[in-house]
A = this chain, B = another copy of it.
Amino acid sequence: MPQPTPPYRLTPQRAAVREVVWEARDHPTAREIYLRVKARQPGIGFATVYRTLSLLVEHGAILELRLGDVARYDANVSPHDHVRCTACGVIADINVPLPASATQRAAHDSGFDVDGYELQLLGRCATCRTSSGGR
């Protein structure tokens, strides 16, 4: 997907936030993004990062995930699912073949019109499985 000229002003701060998210592959939290951006724009403040993240989410440039207790951000805006390691917390993108008809029907029975869904698998990543032995 090409990036159209945004309808908002792309200031250096905003560009830095956008780049950090785009380059990240680890679904960083707002605080983590703030720290990484600060390495490039030492003067930037919390509020600017938070406001920029909201802006980018609103415009569909990035995705906000509410997987655990804090918000995380994902540059992959196409529909996909996630798997989270319950040991170390690492999150990976995956695709689960879940037919739209299944979700539509299940929710429709409850009287809902369904727009979409969020699916998160829970387990142990390869690293944690190996390092901590069997369990």
Residues of A within 8 A of B (CB): 66-69, 71, 81, 83, 85-86, 92, 94-98, 102-103, 106-107, 109-126, 129
Given contacts A69-B66, A118-B122, A121-B117, contact A102 B98 (CB under 8 A): yes
The answer for the CA separation of A115 and B86 in the assembled complex, in Å, is 9
Q: Output the least CB separation between A109 and chain B (Å).
A: 7
Q: Find out whether the CB atom of A83 lies under 8 angstroms from the CB atom of B102.
A: no
State the copy count for this chain: 2
B92 and A121 contact, CB distance less than 8 A: no
Shortest Cβ distance from residue A98 to the other chain B in the assembled complex, whole angstroms: 6
Q: How long is the Cα–Cα vector from A42 to B32 in the complex, in angstroms?
A: 41
Give the complex CA separation of A116 and B116 in angstroms.
Answer: 20
